[in-house]
Amino acid sequence: MGKVIANMSMSLDGFIADPADGIDELFGWMGSGEVEVPTAVEWATFRMSPASATYMRESMASVGALVTGRHLFDITHGWGGTHPLGVPVVVVTHEPPADKPNPDTFTFADSVETAVKLAREAAGDKNVVIASAKIAQQCLDAGLLDGIHVDLVPVLLGTGVRWFENLATAPARLEGPEVIEGQGVTHLAYSVRRS
Amino acid sequence: MGKVIANMSMSLDGFIADPADGIDELFGWMGSGEVEVPTAVEWATFRMSPASATYMRESMASVGALVTGRHLFDITHGWGGTHPLGVPVVVVTHEPPADKPNPDTFTFADSVETAVKLAREAAGDKNVVIASAKIAQQCLDAGLLDGIHVDLVPVLLGTGVRWFENLATAPARLEGPEVIEGQGVTHLAYSVRRS
């Protein structure tokens, strides 16, 4: 069975976006390298350092489904109908949008438990990636998370949206990390320790 | 000339102590390994993984003086008169204690600028280490910081004292890091990028 892994780009001081949801400071490593990494969509092609490209290709190949929050779904306009990873996306929301996009790709669930269950079913033997700060927190608190993969960016933002803001079950002890050194990013792959 | 380097053990979510100034979750890597690293005092001997021990020995040998805040000075009771690193310590405070300890070791300064200047003089060609979260922030804002060395601990504390809480000059972009993989800690040595 696949794992449930939270993955975000994060500043050294713990932010995953600036106060206006901007990610320019945090996503630079995905577009500034010499190795092209295509995605499932034409509008997004990564350009990364060789180390990050290898890591990203392996990560992308291991993902079977995504879980995101409603906020991310909204600000990306549902990724135009297809997520760059090209996998099914389960959106956690209490109010599914009236105009549901691409039903082959998007499912809506009203709890993280249901969302992870649906995503697991869609992912089969592959991993489920949680691509939303709040949903990742809720999954950790609910004991649903196997791994936390941080793409740690060498910047202090000082303000913005924190990844880990309201943990109910802290301290949460982790194992690892496995470290991959990119350019403008350090990939840190932690496992969640089960107590 | 030596460098001015901020160094702290930090949780993955950015905390350098729990709400009661506790550091049990963060300092474990210094006492759980197989390699003994003696300090300048009898009451503190580190036991680290081989990688951390090598890194720590090199770091310790490169330090010529420390700058700390008054709070850390107080809660450690002035380290009993001698800091484990065995170097001069400049304490930033507006009110030096009436009963000043060991004048060969401790100096008191009323601003970070003065403290860093005094510490630089004491350190000679060696580095000045800033061992206090707030003082490190103030040094970064004042353009006094050359490096940020994070001993990143695989735990989410959820609450406590944040290292980078009130930066005035964010975003602060960093270079690196140099990565040393310990056990229960990842040493990340960043340089501060001068704009």
Per-residue pLDDT of A27-70, as tens digits, reads: 999 999 999 999 999 999 999 999 999 999 999 999 999 999 99
Contact state of B170 with A156 under an 8 Å Cβ cutoff? yes
Task: Give A76 to chain B, closest Cα distance, Å.
Answer: 24
Q: Match 């135009």 to its residue by tokens.
A: A80
- B109 occurs within a structural domain: yes
Task: Give A81 to chain B, closest Cα distance, Å.
Answer: 33
- Overall domain count for chain B: 1
- A36 occurs within a structural domain: yes
Distance CA B108, CA B94 (A): 9
Tell me, what's the pLDDT at B158?
Answer: 94
Complex prediction ipTM:
0.94
Query: Where residue B154 sits, what CATH number does that domain have?
Result: 3.40.430.10
Q: For an interface test with B, which of A7, A13, A137 has the most B Cβ atoms less than 10 Å from its Cβ?
A: A13
In sequence order, the β-bridge partners of residue B45 are: B38
- A194 occurs within a structural domain: no
Report yes or no: A51 and A180 within 8 Å, Cβ to Cβ. Answer: yes
Chain B, nearest residue to A177 by Cα = B154
Query: What confidence tens digit (pLDDT) does each residue in B136-153 have?
Result: 999 999 999 999 999 999
Find the mean pLDDT for residues B75-98.
Answer: 92
Q: To 10 degrees, what angle do helices B112-123 and B133-141 make? A: 100
- B192 occurs within a structural domain: no
CB neighbour list of residue A133: distance below 8 Å, 6 or more residues apart: A8, A16, A69, A161, A162, A163, A164, A165
Tell me the residue type at B67.
V
Which stretches of chain B sit within 8 Å of chain A by CB?
11-14, 25, 140, 148, 150, 152, 154-159, 162-164, 166-177, 179, 181, 186, 188, 190
Find the mean pLDDT for residues A102-111.
Answer: 92
Task: Give B178 to chain A, closest Cα distance, Å.
Answer: 9
Task: Give B14 to chain A, closest Cα distance, Å.
Answer: 6
Q: Which residue, among B34, B129, B59, B170, has the nearest Cα to A14 in the 3D structure? A: B170
Distance CA A35, CA A161 (A): 30
Find the mean pLDDT for residues B23-49.
Answer: 94
Report the 3 state secondary structure along chain B: CCCEEEEEEEECCCEEECCCCCCHHHHHHHCCCCEEEECCCCCCEEEECHHHHHHHHHHHHHEEEEEEEHHHHHHCHHHHHCCCCCCCEEEECCCCCCCCCCCCCEEEECCHHHHHHHHHHHHCCCEEEECCHHHHHHHHHCCCCCEEEEEEECEECCCCEECCCCCCCCCEEEEEEEEEECCCCEEEEEEECCC
Phi-psi region of B78 (alpha: psi -120 to 50; beta: other; left: phi over 0): left
- B101 occurs within a structural domain: yes
- B100 occurs within a structural domain: yes
From chain B, pick out residues whose CB is under 8 angstroms from the CB of A164: 12-13, 156, 158
- A195 occurs within a structural domain: no
- A92 occurs within a structural domain: yes
Out of A13, A148, A166, closest to residue B164 by CB: A13
Query: What confidence tens digit (pLDDT) does each residue in A147-192 have?
Result: 999 999 999 999 999 999 889 888 999 999 999 999 999 999 999 9
Out of B148, B156, B179, closest to residue A172 by CB: B156
Task: Give the pair of three-digit tokens for residue A190.
Answer: 């932690």
Find the mean pLDDT for residues A128-141.
Answer: 95
Which stretches of chain A sit within 8 Å of chain B by CB?
11-14, 25, 140, 148, 150, 152, 154-159, 162-164, 166-177, 179, 181, 186, 188, 190
From chain B, pick out residues whose CB is under 8 angstroms from the CB of A51: none
Question: Domain containing A173: what range?
Answer: 4-189
Q: What is the per-residue burial (b if ≥16 Cβ within 10 Å, else e) of B142-167?
A: eebbbbbbbbbbbbbbbebbbbbeeb
Tell me, what's the pLDDT at B1?
Answer: 82
Find the mean pLDDT for residues B156-169.
Answer: 92
Q: Is the pLDDT confidence value at B195 over 80? A: no
Tell me, what's the pLDDT at B58?
Answer: 96
Query: What confidence tens digit (pLDDT) does each residue in A65-74 have?
Result: 999 999 999 9
What is the CB-side half-sphere exposure of residue A104 using CA atoms within 13 A? Answer: 5
Distance CA B116, CA B6 (A): 12
Tell me, what's the pLDDT at A98?
Answer: 84
Task: Give B172 to chain A, closest Cα distance, Å.
Answer: 5
Q: Is the pLDDT confidence value at A124 over 90? A: yes
Contact state of B13 with A164 under an 8 Å Cβ cutoff? yes
Tell me, what's the pLDDT at B73?
Answer: 92
Chain A, nearest residue to B151 by Cα = A12
Tell me, what's the pLDDT at B190?
Answer: 98
